Amino acid sequence: MDDTRLVPGLILRAQSGFFDVHTPDGVLRCKLRGRLTLPRRGSDLVAAGDRVLVQPLDASSGVIERIDERQRVLGRRAPSGRPDRRGQRQQVLLANPDQLAFVFAAEPEPNLRLLDRLLVVAEAERIPALVVVNKIDLTDRKAATELFGLYEKLGYPVLYVSAKTGRGIDALRQALVGKLTAVAGRSGVGKSSLLNAIQPGLALPTKEVSEQTGKGKHATVFPELVPLDGGGYVADTPGLRAFALWDIEPGELDAYFREIAPLVKSCAFSDCTHTHEPDCAVLAAVEAGRVDPGRYESYLRIRLGEEGL
Ligand code: GDP
Ligand code: ZN
């Protein structure tokens, strides 16, 4: 093999043994060099977001020769996967995300308990999170700030935007530039509209378009990366399955709530669950109004295992 012919690239899409790789020479449809497919198979071995070295075969195809080690991973529980090193059955959905953008609509009333769950996943995976509040044209800024200001105080960037009026779109574009961002949110919050506002043609079809064509928006759970004009990539993460809380031990949950984590050392019991114990610093802070009741409710719901996404 002649190493000088290898070009660096990033996997945009993995599908049935073929990989679309973004290289300085354009997008090449690639297969894996045979020996690379062992010992792991398919999407686990190479996922969107993986950095690779490719040997171009012609102007539109090539062979993946090397796969860089992953820095981070966004996964979900595989329906029938093999257990990984930690005994988990994980399926890699996206490799190396730099940040997660959680999109909510200001109207109708956003589900902040869902936001808390998503933030726990971001904290557990150590991936910076960004909150995007769309449809700000449907409410006033003050009402939206009352709901989401708490998250700004916790240190999460919150962007108030409208795909409809264009408000905040420049700031959103700026936040995405040069990074690999996984965009997630419930269907209907306006993810596709936002991506199209940032860069026309970027998104999968919006609701209106997919209703017209009768084509479902998300035929697959695997994200596809789309290169941004200014540099960076956006992955429209289909559904919220990638953000299931499957990898989190109950005892470590408190570490993933930013305002709860620093209190834990002041609890009387080192294994305090912060649900009922005497001399619990978390319960005391909730009573004193220093921890938001909604955030604490999210902690309880996850801790007591009452919720699935
Ligand atoms: P997705 O399912 O998250 O991709 O949501 P879509 O982009 O398909 O948008 C869902 C609906 O919300 C569509 O009817 C959009 O026209 C509408 N929508 C999207 N963004 C905005 C916005 O900023 N303001 C308003 N008023 N409606 C919006
Ligand atoms: Zn406690």
From 132, 169, 207, 215, mutation site for ligand 1 pocket: most ligand atoms within 8 A of C-beta: 207
3-state helix, strand, coil in the chain (%, to 5): 30, 25, 45
The ligand placed nearest to the CA atom of residue 273 is: 2
Side-chain-side CA neighbours of 109 within 13 Å: the count stands at 1
Domains of the chain: 3-69 (2.40.50.140), 93-242 (3.40.50.300), 250-303 (1.10.40.50)
Q: What is the predicted pLDDT for the residue at 34?
A: 78
The confidence score (pLDDT) of residue 248 equals 79
- Report the pocket of ligand 1 as residue ranges, CB < 6 Å: 134-135, 137-138, 162-164, 185, 187-193, 206-207
Burial 61-70 (b: 16+ CB within 10 A, else e): ebbbbebeee
Alpha carbon of 43 to ligand 1 centroid (Å): 31
Closest-CA residue, ligand 1 atom 15, reads 190
The preferred substitution site among 134, 141, 206 for testing ligand 1, maximizing ligand atoms within 8 Å of CB, is: 206
Q: Which ligand is nearest to the CA of 240?
A: 1
Residue nearest to atom 6 of ligand 1 (CA): 190
- Residue 121 Cα distances to 30, 117, 162, angstroms: 32, 7, 26
Which atom of ligand 1 has the smallest separation from the CA of 187?
2
CA distances (Å), origin 3, targets 6, 7, 65, 70 = 6, 9, 10, 22
Atom of ligand 1 nearest to the CA of 236: 4
CA of 106 from ligand 1 middle (Å) equals 11
pLDDT at 224: 87
From the CA of 165, give the closest atom in ligand 1: 23
Kindly give the confidence (pLDDT) of every residue in the chain, 309 residues in length, as a single tens digit, with 9 standing for 90 and above.
555 689 999 999 988 789 999 999 899 999 998 776 555 544 467 899 999 999 999 999 999 999 999 988 887 655 554 555 555 556 788 999 999 999 999 999 999 999 999 999 999 989 999 999 999 999 988 999 999 999 999 999 999 999 999 999 999 999 999 999 999 999 999 999 999 999 987 765 544 444 554 444 444 567 789 999 999 999 977 677 667 776 678 899 999 999 999 999 999 999 999 999 999 999 999 999 999 999 999 999 999 886 544
At 36 the three-state DSSP class reads: helix
Compute the C-alpha angle 45/247/217, nearest 5°: 65
